[in-house]
Amino acid sequence: MSDLKYLSLEKLTLAYGDTVAVADLDLDIRRGELIALLGPSGCGKTTTMRAIAGLLTVKSGHVRLDGADITHVSPNKRAVGLVFQSYALFPHLSVYENVAFGLKLKGLRGAALDAKVQSGIASVGLNGFANRRPGELSGGQQQRVALARSMVMEPKVLLLDEPLSNLDARLRLEMRTELQRVQKETGVTMIFVTHDQTEALALADRIVVMKRGAIEQIGSPQDIYNRPQSSFVADFVGFENVFALEGGKLKANGGLYDLQGDVPAVAGLAWRPRMVTLGSGPFQGKVRGTSFAGEHREYLLDTPLGPIKAEVDASQPMHDLGAELAFDLPAHRAAPLASFA
Amino acid sequence: MFQNRAEALALALPAAIFAAAVFLVPVLILLSEGFRSAAVDGAAGGGWTLSAFTEFFSSSLNRTVFLRTLRLGAIVTVVSAVIGYAAAFAIVSLKPSTKGKITGLVVLPLMISPVARTYAWIVILGRTGIVNQAFQALGISEAPLRILFSETAIFIGLLQLFLPLMIISLISALENMPKDAIAAARVLGANWFQVFWKVILPLTREGLVIGGTLVFTGSLTAYITPAILGGSKVLMLETLMYQQVSVSNNFVSASVIAFILIVMSFAANILLKRVATARNRVRTEARGTQ
Amino acid sequence: MTARNFFIPVTLFLVIAFLIGPFLIIVAASFSAGETLAFPPQGFSLRWIAKVFTVESFRASFAMSLFLAIGGTAVALMLGIPASYALSRYKLPGAEVIRTVVSAPIIVPGIIVGLALLRYIVVPFGVGITPALFLAHTALVLPYAVRVVSASLDNLRSDIEEAAVLLGSSRLGAFFRVVMPNIRGGILSAFILGFVTSFNQVPVSLFLSGPGVRTLPVDMIAYMEIVFDPSVAALSSLLAFLSIGIVFAAERFLGFSRYV
Ligand SMILES: Nc1ncnc2c1ncn2[C@@H]1O[C@H](COP(=O)(O)OP(=O)(O)OP(=O)(O)O)[C@@H](O)[C@H]1O
Ligand SMILES: [Mg+2]
């Protein structure tokens, strides 16, 4: 029970002055879970993390951690770690002193302190950098120091706010594996914020998609990727063709269209470009744009339903711009959407 | 950004209360005295009136001092702008290493006590000073000229005091100017006069305004220079105010002068700021329509 | 091109001669052996430099100025650092009003501040001259303290304080552990700027002098109205070298000009 609800947010409402940023948020996180918080800019990801860390006063609701209500516990007594997007290393202290900072405050001294600091530094592969100042490190190295500094505190929960967004593409992949490794080795419960759906899909045990201060969907990466529950999530994870349903018909561009096959009784349907059948079907469209993506070719069609994106095998013959094409949106392949905004 | 208001106020209020109690409130009371009807002994009392101001300006001595203060402020500002442009232009065209050293020499006087800086002019401009010695040796004058205790002496002192402020404002303005602006204008056929008027002046206006404000308000409110170089006869508003208090015990008149000084400094600040931002708006709007 | 090659050095020479020359003359005059202030100096001696140290009123007023400059600046910083911190880190109601109030003394001519203090603090409340001078100099330095410290706080990321708190530090502890060490240069620069400003200040102190209580610059003005010997020149040179020395050291070790 307590392992299933290791960290719980209950009806959490957070506000800046009078503007509510997060409203009535409920979320239960298991011990040792790796959670990705995904959502567009301004949806309240950072706000939620800051509330868990205690850096933001909770307006109403509760934060529970490991069986205790920590809603009003001050941030320095919570055992919650936070890795900032900007790393927030102490510029006047060396790598060693940065990592030792929290341990010293815990009262650790001498050999015990040294052993912990050294192993923390070693665990992120920064041996030999102990005496450098943060200003003398690369972005990726600074990121590792920030990680080590939080990890040596053995926090109950480690929060990471866009930990990888300041790194270049290659380093980002490298740090991704690094994060995963640290999490597996220590079994720490982790929540990380990201804008990048591939990052969330690759790393997380579960993904929490947020929208305007509320949770839109929680699920495994497979769930989120294949079975979005709402038009918002479908859009967000790359279903390019998202439509509402009305009385079993597709509602698009102000008109209603019949679909072939059994149409489920849901609020909407969504197709990834590769789920669209091109070359045959009841609909007609005109090729407005095309782009080549290695194995695939993507077409953008102007249709009575509005713009449609379709993707076909690149080995198939190419259609010219302006060509009229038949296509189909097969109902059985679509992801059913429980809600449509 | 922390949210806790009580904590924020606890941190900020001591300083604010201190400044208010030691500075703001006494100064405001002092200023208000100028609007009270004067009692016989020069102390304030009674209701609100502008009579102290009309009385102040009815004295021709006071009018002279007021106009002299304005005139000196304006002349010092204009002259320091002219010299400042020449000096700043010369300095920014130097090699970086030399530039640092020369800039250091320009700001050096700012670290020296104004008393010492003003005192030097006594040695130079006095009856037996260098200038008079030179004039007599060259036969320009027979008897020593009276340069000290004149408007000229105050002008020289103020110019020396405040010129560095103008020069550093203009140096940073010139350095922030787009590098190729002058070259581009030259290529387009502008002569140096046109380059200055059409390119350099508009592009450095903000620096000129900052420097000008510093020099003008500094000159208005300088005390030491008119006190030492103007003596007790050639007064500016600040020295007049001192006399009104310490010689005539006329506090109402001192309050009037204080009010005039503050209004003039504020007016100069606001006016010049307006000039700078108005120019900017024109410039950004022009850029927007391109 | 040759016109420019001629223009630059001549302009610079004239301007610098005008700005620095008088100071050099004062320095030269202070080594004079003659009885009166003159240039070129008559002979060479250190007698006037030596005399500075023997004039009783100079010693007293120097001590007073030193006390005001050090004490006033220290108090201004003790008031100014928390205020700057609140202004830069908190969402503060009336922040602009507070900023204006604490930086107002810089805009108002010193003589007005001195007179206002004399009339409405010293006389009605029976405050002594020395405490009044102290208050005046503190108020005068406060705007500089707030400006310089604010600038260095604004240059420092605020998330390091949150990081320190999350690592177990209290808020106050975070200030002393991670904020102070990073704005130390700014604080020292504020101190030096405040010191020089206070030490050289005349108008504020004009009305605030009593028997035996005077700041050094006011004392120098009083002295030279009576005696026309080179001792004021000697004292001026000594003080000038002192403040130039301090500022140079500050620039070398702190990069003073970054903060001012
Ligand atoms: N200090 C603040 N004061 C007022 N409003 C704020 C503040 N910080 C955030 N907000 C508002 O709260 C909402 C949530 O912001 P938050 O920073 O949590 O978004 P986010 O999901 O982290 O976005 P991003 O992906 O851009 O980092 C936004 O509408 C934002 O404008
Ligand atoms: Mg964020």
Is residue C206 within 8 A of residue C114, CB to CB? The reply is yes
Maximum Cα interatomic distance, chain A, rounded to a whole number of Å: 77
Backbone angles phi, psi at A191, to 5 degrees: -125, 125
Backbone angles phi, psi at B68, to 5 degrees: -65, -40
Span A246-271, pLDDT tens digits: 888 999 888 899 888 888 889 999 99
pLDDT band at B130 (very low <50, low <70, confident <90, very high): confident
What share of chain A in percent tops pLDDT 90?
Answer: 68
d(CA A333, CA C65): 87
Within 13 A of B218's CA, how many CA atoms are on the CB side? 25
Among A38, A45, A165, which residue has the most ligand 1 atoms within 8 Å of its CB, making it the best to mutate? Answer: A45
Closest alpha carbon within chain C to B128: C38
Other C-beta atoms closer than 10 Å to the C-beta of A332 total: 11
Q: What is the pLDDT of residue B2?
A: 67
The residues of chain C scoring below 50 in pLDDT are: none
CA angle A231, A237, A243 (to 5 degrees): 30
Q: What CATH architecture is B62-284?
A: Orthogonal Bundle (1.10)
- A83, β-bridge pairs: A160
Among the listed residues B200, B153, B159, B193, the one whose alpha carbon sits nearest the alpha carbon of residue B176: B200
Q: Which atom of ligand 1 is nearest to the CA of A43?
A: 21
With the C-alpha atoms ordered B98, B99, B100, B106, is the resulting torsion angle positive or negative? positive
Is residue A35 within 8 A of residue A45, CB to CB? The reply is no
SS (H, E, C) C204-260: HHHCCCECCECCHHHHHHHHHHHCCCCHHHHHHHHHHHHHHHHHHHHHHHHCHHHCC
Within 13 A of A115's CA, how many CA atoms are on the CB side? 5
* Beta carbon of A44 within 6 Å of any ligand 1 atom: yes
Q: What is the pLDDT of residue B284?
A: 46
- Both tokens of A140, joined, read 């990726």
Q: What is the pLDDT of residue C44?
A: 85
Can you list the alpha helix ranges (DSSP code H) found in chain C? 2-29, 47-54, 56-89, 95-103, 110-117, 123-125, 129-154, 159-166, 171-174, 180-200, 203-206, 216-226, 231-254
Q: What is the pLDDT of residue B7?
A: 86
* Beta carbon of A156 within 6 Å of any ligand 1 atom: no
Q: What is the pLDDT of residue C222?
A: 87
Buried b / exposed e over A80-118, threshold 16 CB at 10 Å, is: bbbbbbebbbbebbbbbbbbbbbbbbeebeeeebeebbe
* Beta carbon of A248 within 6 Å of any ligand 1 atom: no
Span A191-233, pLDDT tens digits: 999 988 888 998 999 999 999 999 999 999 999 999 999 999 9
Among the listed residues A60, A66, A129, the one whose alpha carbon sits nearest the alpha carbon of residue A96: A129
**Closest ligand relative to A42 C-alpha:** 1
Helix pair C56-89, C47-54: axis angle to 10 deg: 80
Q: What is the pLDDT of residue C149?
A: 93
Q: What is the pLDDT of residue A154?
A: 93
State whether residue B153 is helix, strand or coil: helix
Q: What is the pLDDT of residue B281?
A: 52
pTM of the model: 0.83
ipTM above 0.85, yes or no: yes
Q: What is the pLDDT of residue B179?
A: 73
d(CA A43, CA A56): 16
- Both tokens of B95, joined, read 């090699």
Among the listed residues A120, A125, B140, the one whose alpha carbon sits nearest the alpha carbon of residue B131: B140
Q: What is the pLDDT of residue C260?
A: 63
Span A115-159, pLDDT tens digits: 999 999 998 889 999 999 999 999 889 989 999 999 999 999 999
Q: Can you tell me the mean pLDDT for B145-167?
A: 92
Q: Residue with the nearest Cα to atom 4 of ligand 1?
A: A16
Q: Can you tell me the mean pLDDT for B87-94?
A: 91
Span C84-109, pLDDT tens digits: 999 998 888 888 899 989 988 888 88
Closest alpha carbon within chain B to C225: B228
d(CA B217, CA B74): 10
Q: What is the pLDDT of residue A2?
A: 55
Residue predicted with more confidence, B289 or A188: A188
Q: Is the pLDDT of residue A312 over 80?
A: yes
Among the listed residues C129, C40, C61, the one whose alpha carbon sits nearest the alpha carbon of residue B115: C61
Span A61-75, pLDDT tens digits: 999 999 899 999 999
The chains in contact with chain C, meaning 3 or more Cβ pairs closer than 8 Å, are A, B
- A8, β-bridge pairs: A28, A64
Q: Measured in angstroms, how far is the CA atom of residue A43 from the centroid of ligand 1?
A: 7
Residue C41: asked if its preceding bond is cis (omega within 30°), the reply is no
Instruction: Look at C169 and A105 and tell me if their CB atoms are within 8 Å.
Output: yes
d(CA A149, CA A96): 9
Q: What is the pLDDT of residue B183?
A: 80
Other C-beta atoms closer than 10 Å to the C-beta of B231 total: 16
Residue predicted with more confidence, A323 or B4: A323
Q: Can you tell me the mean pLDDT for B60-75?
A: 95
Is residue C202 within 8 A of residue C113, CB to CB? The reply is no
Integer angstrom CA distances of residue B215 from B169, B201, B226, B277: 11, 18, 15, 19
* Beta carbon of A194 within 6 Å of any ligand 1 atom: no
Q: Please indicate if any CB of chain C lies within 8 Å of the CB of A89.
A: yes
Q: What is the pLDDT of residue A1?
A: 45
Within 13 A of B195's CA, how many CA atoms are on the CB side? 14
- Long-range CB contact pairs, B280-284, < 8 A, 24+: B280/B206, B283/B202
d(CA B9, CA C184): 24
Q: What is the pLDDT of residue B288?
A: 38
Q: What is the pLDDT of residue B146?
A: 82
What share of chain A in percent tops pLDDT 70?
Answer: 99
- Both tokens of C40, joined, read 């070129």
Span C170-182, pLDDT tens digits: 989 999 999 999 9
Backbone angles phi, psi at A44, to 5 degrees: 110, 15
State whether residue C202 is helix, strand or coil: coil
* Beta carbon of A280 within 6 Å of any ligand 1 atom: no
- Both tokens of C240, joined, read 């000038």
Q: Is the pLDDT of residue B287 over 80?
A: no
* Beta carbon of A37 within 6 Å of any ligand 1 atom: no
Span B226-284, pLDDT tens digits: 998 998 889 999 999 999 998 888 888 899 999 999 998 888 888 877 876 665 554 44
Q: Which atom of ligand 1 is nearest to the CA of A85?
A: 27
Q: What is the pLDDT of residue B226?
A: 93
Q: How distant is the alpha carbon of residue A219 from its chain centre?
A: 11
Q: What is the pLDDT of residue B279?
A: 56
Q: Measured in angstroms, how far is the CA atom of residue A196 from the centroid of ligand 2?
A: 13
Is residue C230 within 8 A of residue B119, CB to CB? The reply is no
Q: What is the pLDDT of residue B270?
A: 84
Q: What is the pLDDT of residue A253?
A: 87
Q: What is the pLDDT of residue C69?
A: 95
Span B27-49, pLDDT tens digits: 999 999 888 765 545 555 567 88
Q: What is the pLDDT of residue A317?
A: 84
Domain boundaries, chain B: 62-284
Contacting B residues, span 86-115, partner chain C, CB-CB under 8 Å: 86-87, 90-91, 93-94, 102, 105-106, 108-109, 111-115
Q: Please indicate if any CB of chain C lies within 8 Å of the CB of A75.
A: yes
pLDDT band at A90 (very low <50, low <70, confident <90, very high): very high
Q: What is the pLDDT of residue C229?
A: 82
Q: Is the pLDDT of residue A294 over 80?
A: yes
Instruction: Look at C90 and B22 and tell me if their CB atoms are within 8 Å.
Output: no
* Chain position carrying tokens 């990121």: A143
* Chain position carrying tokens 């080594």: C31
What share of chain C in percent tops pLDDT 90?
Answer: 41
Q: In what order do the strands lie in the sheet with A60-65?
A: A19-29, A7-16, A60-65, A68-69
DSSP for residue C33: -
Among A9, A38, A47, which residue has the most ligand 1 atoms within 8 Å of its CB, making it the best to mutate? Answer: A47
Among the listed residues C98, C180, C104, the one whose alpha carbon sits nearest the alpha carbon of residue B13: C98
DSSP A18-82: TEEEEEEEEEEE-TT-EEEEE--TTSSHHHHHHHHHTSS--SEEEEEETTEE-TTS-GGGS-EEE
d(CA A129, CA A71): 38
Chain A CB contacts of C186 below 8 Å: none
Instruction: Look at A88 and C168 and tell me if their CB atoms are within 8 Å.
Output: no
Strands A80-83 and A157-161, how do they pair?
parallel
pLDDT band at A85 (very low <50, low <70, confident <90, very high): confident
- Both tokens of B171, joined, read 């140096």
For A248: left if phi > 0, alpha if psi spans -120 to 50, otherwise beta; the answer is left
d(CA C176, CA C174): 5
Q: What is the pLDDT of residue B46?
A: 63
CATH of C55-258, one of 1.10.1300.10, 1.10.3720.10, 1.10.260.40, 3.30.565.10: 1.10.3720.10
Integer angstrom CA distances of residue A19 from A169, A193, A283, C166: 36, 22, 46, 26
Q: Please indicate if any CB of chain C lies within 8 Å of the CB of A281.
A: no
Query: Residue C252: is it exposed, middle or buried by C-beta count within 10 angstroms (0-12/13-18/19+)?
Result: exposed
**Closest ligand relative to A41 C-alpha:** 1
Q: Please indicate if any CB of chain A lies within 8 Å of the CB of C66.
A: no
